[in-house]
Chain A
């Protein structure tokens, strides 16, 4: 079946630090991969996506590359801000979205 495993949190960083959240997946076929972000009290917002191997998704300074050989889709940002504090979810799309457990990120000023 399809499943997503992402780095356990919580993660606490200082402003301008480098952020990496690891995500690996198991899937049949060729799924699309996504990162969603959830701010407190809100629903999920799409952060970025990649639809095929070697695609790089990017948005708001965040990047992730679809690596078929390592079945990974790690999220990175070079310099985080306090406003990046949120829960980040890795997900894959087959006939449904399968989510990872979520990683809580807190950025301190």
Chain B
């Protein structure tokens, strides 16, 4: 099976712009979670989608949003970018989601740089 794919791999944006990142989960997986990784804060949970519904959300401002499509592909959007949004954004998929002992499989990430 193909792994989790994320596009694009690298992005450079300027403050105030918005950005959309995409994640394609492993075939058959219905849960997609997003994480932000920065040197200062480490790995932080953004949100989880399961069957097109946001099931859980981390402590991020409303500028961070996401959605999931019927084929389980997911996008996350960050509006009004700030310098502090520069990070590696990781997507993870699992079969049944985070409420279980399901293993989460991670994609390679999208490196976002905000100038």
Interface residues of chain B, those whose CB is within 8 Å of chain A, are 4, 6, 33, 35, 42-43, 45, 48, 55-56, 58, 90, 92, 98-99, 101, 103-109
Closest to B56 in A: A95
**Contacts A36-B106, A97-B45, A97-B104 supplied; 15 other A-B pairs, CB < 8 Å:** A43-B109, A44-B90, A44-B106, A45-B106, A46-B103, A46-B104, A46-B105, A51-B101, A93-B98, A95-B48, A95-B55, A95-B56, A96-B33, A100-B42, A102-B42
Q: Is the CB of A43 within 8 A of B33?
A: no
A96 contacts across to B, CB distance below 8 A: 33, 45, 48, 56, 58, 98
**Complex partner residue of A99 from B42, B99, B105, B108, CB under 8 angstroms:** B42
A93 contacts across to B, CB distance below 8 A: 98, 101, 104
| Any B CB within 8 A of the CB of A81 | no
A44 contacts across to B, CB distance below 8 A: 90, 92, 106
- In the assembled complex, the CB of A3 is this many whole angstroms from the nearest CB of chain B, namely 11
- In the assembled complex, the CB of A45 is this many whole angstroms from the nearest CB of chain B, namely 7
Q: Binary interface profile of A, 32-52, with partner B (CB < 8 Å = 1, else 0)?
A: 101010000111111001010
**Complex partner residue of A32 from B90, B101, B107, B108, CB under 8 angstroms:** B101
B92 contacts across to A, CB distance below 8 A: 44, 97
B-contacting residues, A52-67, CB 8 Å: none
- In the assembled complex, the CB of B57 is this many whole angstroms from the nearest CB of chain A, namely 9
| Any B CB within 8 A of the CB of A19 | no
A100 contacts across to B, CB distance below 8 A: 42
Q: Is the CB of B106 within 8 A of A43?
A: yes
| Any B CB within 8 A of the CB of A20 | no
Q: How many angstroms between the C-alpha atoms of A23 and B1 in the bound complex?
A: 32
